Amino acid sequence: MVSKINRKAPTKTTKPSPKTGRRGRLKSSPSPVKSISAYASSVDRSIRRCLLKFFTCLAVINTPKRRKKGFRRLPRPHDGETASTQPGRPRRDALPPPSVPGRITIVLDLDETLVHSRVGVPPDRYDFVVHPSIEGLEMTFYVLKRPGVDELLHAASESFEVVIYTAGLKEYASLVIDQLDPGGGMVTHRLYRDSCLEEEGGKMVKDLSSLGRNLDRVVIVDDNPVSYSLQKENAIPVASFVDDPRDKELVRLMQFFDVAHRFEDMREAVAFYLSEQIKE
């Protein structure tokens, strides 16, 4: 008797048909065009984030804070009335009494007059770096000194009361001044943005009458005419400095030191000096 053996066929996984199964198992390779597009989009987002951070930093520095103890709105003087003598305006001297009464006070602007600063990518040329913390945000400034600034500060400190008066924030400007005067023996006083007046449109004005010094013994050096618009006759304008290594503005300015001591009234000294500069 022949026994019948039932052979059970081994179970096999059914192969998917080329038309159905393969579509579910295999991943389609990305299109080269889509890959390039995705990469370009990623780079674009990265650049946008960097630019946003950069312009946010600039906004923090250049936007004045509107606080009760911040700026004073500069009212327009009436006819025959100067901004320093308007009724109802409180008078507060920004500087303590002079250590040498009658000494000439030279007021120096900081940015674009003595130095030029940049944030972001390091420039090709800079002299030092400062890292102020402004409203909780640490920033990096690359600072380039104007040619002649060291000689100017040294010469001025020997004969004048030197005041650096800037519209910049104290957090930033104080670190820059520390680098310009590391020993603290050349700059007598420092004034920052909170000592400025805010004109309509957000322009910052430096009122020399608030210093507590006789105006006939004060000179201001600034690249921005708005800064000295209240006392133009006390001002020596200079060109804005960016990065010209051949800049001679501060070297020429030192010629004023010899002129100043010939006059009792610095407004007359400024007028004489500027007239001589025009002749040259």
- List CB contacts of 68: < 8 A, sequence separation 6 or more: none
Q: What is the mean pLDDT of residues 228-236?
A: 98
Q: Are 218 and 234 in contact (CB under 8 A)?
A: yes
DSSP 3-state assignment of 218? strand
Q: Are 197 and 72 in contact (CB under 8 A)?
A: yes
Sign, CA dihedral 178-115-230-206, equals negative
Residue 240: inside a domain, yes or no?
yes
Rg value, the chain, Cα: 33
Residue 135: inside a domain, yes or no?
no
Q: Are strands 72-73 and 137-138 parallel, antiparallel or unpaired?
A: unpaired
Query: Which is catalytic among the residues 111, 181, 207, 222?
Result: 111
Q: According to the per-residue pLDDT averaged within each range, which of 18-22, 88-92, 240-244 is highest?
A: 240-244
Instruction: Tell me: pLDDT of 83 over 50.
Output: no
Query: Which range (14-18, 136-140, 219-223, 262-266) has the least confidence?
Result: 14-18
Nearest alpha carbon to residue 238 among 213, 200, 193, 273: 273
Q: How far apart are CA 99 and CA 36, in angstroms?
A: 69
Residue 81: inside a domain, yes or no?
no
Report the chain's mean pLDDT, rounded to a whole number: 81
pLDDT at 53: 57
Give, for 141, the enclosing helix (H) or strand (E): strand 141-145
Residue 220: inside a domain, yes or no?
yes
Residue 35: inside a domain, yes or no?
no
* 109 is known as an active-site residue: yes
> Taking CA 132 as the corner, what is the angle to CA 128 and CA 137, rounded to the nearest 5 degrees?
135
Q: How do residues 120-141 score in pLDDT, each as one tens digit?
A: 899 999 999 999 999 999 999 9
Instruction: Tell me: pLDDT of 96 over 50.
Output: yes
- List CB contacts of 147: < 8 A, sequence separation 6 or more: 245, 246, 247, 248, 250, 251
Query: Which is catalytic among the residues 79, 93, 109, 194?
Result: 109
Name the residue range of residue 231's domain. Answer: 65-75+97-114+146-279
Q: How far apart are CA 234 and CA 165, in angstroms?
A: 14
Q: Are strands 137-138 and 235-237 parallel, antiparallel or unpaired?
A: unpaired
Confidence of residue 201 (pLDDT cuts 50, 70, 90): confident
Residue 101: inside a domain, yes or no?
yes
Confidence of residue 200 (pLDDT cuts 50, 70, 90): confident
Q: Output the pTM of the full model.
A: 0.70
Provide the CATH number for the domain around residue 275.
3.40.50.1000
Confidence of residue 277 (pLDDT cuts 50, 70, 90): confident
Work out how many domains the chain is built from and give that number: 1
Q: What letter would DSSP give residue 67?
A: -
* 127 is known as an active-site residue: no
Q: Are 221 and 109 in contact (CB under 8 A)?
A: yes
Residue 207: inside a domain, yes or no?
yes
Q: Are 163 and 190 in contact (CB under 8 A)?
A: yes
Residue 43: inside a domain, yes or no?
no
